[in-house]
Homo-oligomer: A and B are copies of this chain.
Amino acid sequence: MIQTPYLLFLGDAPDALAAKVAQGIKDWRPDASVGQFRMEGCNADMGLKDMTLAEAKAAGAKTLVIGVANRGGVISDAWKTVLVEALEMGFDIASGLHNLLNEERELVAAAQTHGCWLHDVRIPSDAYPIANGKKRTGKRCLAVGTDCSVGKMYTGIAMEREMHARKMKATFRATGQTGILITGSGVPLDAVIADFMAGAVEYITPDNDPDHWDLIEGQGSLFHVSYSGVTMALIHGGQPDALILCHEPTRTHMRGLPDYTPPSLEKLREIALPIAQVANPDCKVAAISVNTQHMSETDALAYLAELEDSMGLPAVDPFRQGAGRLVDALEAI
């Protein structure tokens, strides 16, 4: 568990896009961060108060979260100076970077000396069991997509927020780096060893109250040949009661696979539901979540209306319309 509140480290981000992890944390957990730390040349701004390490410490920050991608995959000396100073002041550090905090000698030494944690959220933190497939108490919802990066994480977090607003019991279960930094825990499923993937999903979605919903962050797609095994493990380890189908209608090919055309939502339902029913015969497709950011409002609404009609399911863009009807669909199950 990563301790909050955070100080968001934006480093020398060349532009806003480089700081998209920080943006996710800011968007979804606005109360989790006391401020931002920017170095010379930083062109990203979360609209948080700029703070020195000492100011952040005084404001109660416990963890410095690296919210920015590093240039060239190297943790620069300029960054290291700041990070070591943070450890000396008692901050933990959390990072989703490819190159690990725990492989930087100066950081490891400083963390040991000062009794701080270095959280590399790309590395699984626990020894996961092999999945046992036993039916668990409580309910689970999983977002499955026609492709990668179509809004599965956004959908899950937006639903959790809406459910909390309705005083429903719900927990978003992160399965990727950004999700883990946003929520403070989870499993980086793409870094888990094959034999333990489904077991890792069981592990983070244990027995719960009968009226509690886990909202499991989806990964990959059953139709994305590079990552479909991870998606499969999520479906069978998660034993979902409800699937939310996620889609981005303007995409012309699968992400990173120029020769592969994204499937239709009908095709996704046709493949995903029988697979999910292996682990949970009562599983249902509850609703459709569409990322319409590349469509006009008019086109988006027309598209969604048509989908509702052809699929016989609620179809919404939670970013434009909120997640209310997605949660209604869960409540109807």
Chain B nearest CB from A214 CB (Å) reads 17
Q: Which residues of B contact A131 (CB under 8 A)?
A: 225-226
A271→B236 CA distance, assembly (Å): 14
B197-A194 in contact (CB<8A): yes
The answer to whether A305 has its CB under 8 Å from any CB of chain B is no
A229-B197 in contact (CB<8A): yes
The answer to whether A76 has its CB under 8 Å from any CB of chain B is no
B-contact 0/1 string along A216-233, CB 8 Å cutoff: 000000110111111111
Count of chain copies: 2
B230-A194 in contact (CB<8A): yes
B194-A133 in contact (CB<8A): no
A217→B131 CA distance, assembly (Å): 22
The answer to whether A130 has its CB under 8 Å from any CB of chain B is yes
The answer to whether A134 has its CB under 8 Å from any CB of chain B is yes
B199-A195 in contact (CB<8A): no
Counting chain B CB atoms within 10 Å of each CB, the highest count among A130, A194, A198, A274 belongs to A194
B270-A274 in contact (CB<8A): yes
Q: A191-B193, A232-B232 are known contacts; what are 19 more A-B pairs with Cβ within 8 Å? A: A132-B226, A133-B257, A133-B259, A133-B260, A135-B259, A190-B194, A190-B195, A191-B194, A193-B193, A194-B197, A197-B229, A198-B225, A198-B229, A222-B278, A226-B236, A229-B233, A271-B271, A271-B274, A271-B275
6 sampled A-B residue pairs with Cβ under 8 A:
A133-B260, A194-B229, A225-B236, A229-B236, A231-B232, A271-B274
Question: Residues of A with Cβ closer than 8 Å to B?
Answer: 130-135, 189-195, 197-199, 222-223, 225-233, 236-237, 239, 254, 256-257, 259-260, 263, 270-271, 274-275, 278-279
